[in-house]
Amino acid sequence: MSPPNFKNHTQTSESFQPKQSSQQKWSKRANMKEKNKKKDEAYRFRYGNYHQYYGYRNHGQMDSRMSCMKQEWFSGKDVLDIGCNAGHFTLAIAKYFTPSSIIGIDIDHTLIKMAMKNVRHYTTPTYDFEEEDFPVSFAVCHGPIAQMMDAKGRYPAGNFPFNVQFVQANFVLPSDELVDMQDQHFDTVLCLSLTKWVHLNWGDIGIKRMFRRIFNLLRPGGNLILEAQLFKSYNKRKNITVKMYQHYNQIELLPEMFNDYLLKDVGFETCDLIDIPAHSSQGFSRPMYLFTKAASAEMKRKHVFYHYSSDSSYEECDNEELSD
């Protein structure tokens, strides 16, 4: 007697697998789309060029680092702010600390455009408008006209906002030879919340070139104000690109070694702790240091208009979820 034929009565295990509902498929696609969006944003902001950085950090309040600044570092001085973002810190220094000139530099051209527009938020329109001024709304909405266009000479030269300018460029030069060619232009250089991004994108070579270029740009007796991120904060951003991951794993000059490197290898004479500004987010409460270059023979001062050579190609960036 032949065994019964169960072929028509049995089902494969596959037939018992529950089918995905349209809602589940939609949810899966939405999650994948959101994941890809975050990856794209992370890549666009791989230089730390967040477009909402100041809003995320300061929550509409005064930047706590501003209370650590001293007039003697800026008043009547030529100043450079590296990684100026949308320019708020640069503009506050320009307005309240009366430097002779201050230049904000950032790798992101969109941020530089934002910084230029942000000048209007720091100006008070107290102009004597005349009939030929056209249109009046320009000065009210966008701040004072450029000094070079002020044919009537109504605005004092060297005072805010004519003591500030913004430049789009990559500060990290592609060779040591170019670093050694830098002239002394500045009395004070600001390098705030930038070292992590230079380190991850250009490795130890990039961070060393940046420090050496700063030193070479400073006049005798000049100051570097440095706020460096901790190494543990690198971990969250190391996987944005293959190069960043490689640089992360090759780092030997850790942030806690920066002070010794700047004194012993770069050549700064002194290092002093300025303060550790309080912040509601512990990640933003970082020590700020003042490095001073040894004084030497007095040099003839010259007006600074920052001409740069952008060393490496920079692809257009937009921005990412905030985390410094």
Instruction: Indicate whether 223 pLDDT > 60.
Output: yes
Q: Which residues contact 98 (CB under 8 A, 6 or more apart)?
A: 71, 74, 75, 76, 159, 160, 163
**Amino acid code (one letter) for 140:** V
CA proximity to 109, closest of 44, 43, 174, 173: 44
Instruction: Indicate whether 137 pLDDT > 70.
Output: no
Confidence of residue 147 (pLDDT cuts 50, 70, 90): very low
Phi-psi region of 55 (alpha: psi -120 to 50; beta: other; left: phi over 0): alpha
270 DSSP β-pair partners: 292
Q: What is the pLDDT of residue 27?
A: 65
Tokens of 136: 């009046």
Which residue did the predictor score with more confidence, 51 or 134? Answer: 51
Confidence of residue 283 (pLDDT cuts 50, 70, 90): low
Phi-psi region of 59 (alpha: psi -120 to 50; beta: other; left: phi over 0): left
- Determine the Cα–Cα distance for residues 43 and 315; give it in Å rounded to an integer: 11
What angle in degrees, to the nearest 10, is found between the helix axes of 195-217 and 242-250? 70
Q: Which residues contact 76 (CB under 8 A, 6 or more apart)?
A: 98, 99, 100
CA proximity to 243, closest of 178, 310, 197: 197
What angle in degrees, to the nearest 10, is found between the helix axes of 109-118 and 88-96? 40
Confidence of residue 141 (pLDDT cuts 50, 70, 90): low
How far, in Å, are 8, 28, 249, 310 from residue 17 at the CA level?
19, 18, 44, 58
CA proximity to 199, closest of 169, 231, 225: 231
CA proximity to 143, closest of 168, 116, 167: 116
Tokens of 184: 């002394």
Q: What is the pLDDT of residue 4?
A: 55
Q: Please write the tens of the pLDDT for every residue from 114-125.
A: 999 999 888 876
pTM of the model: 0.74
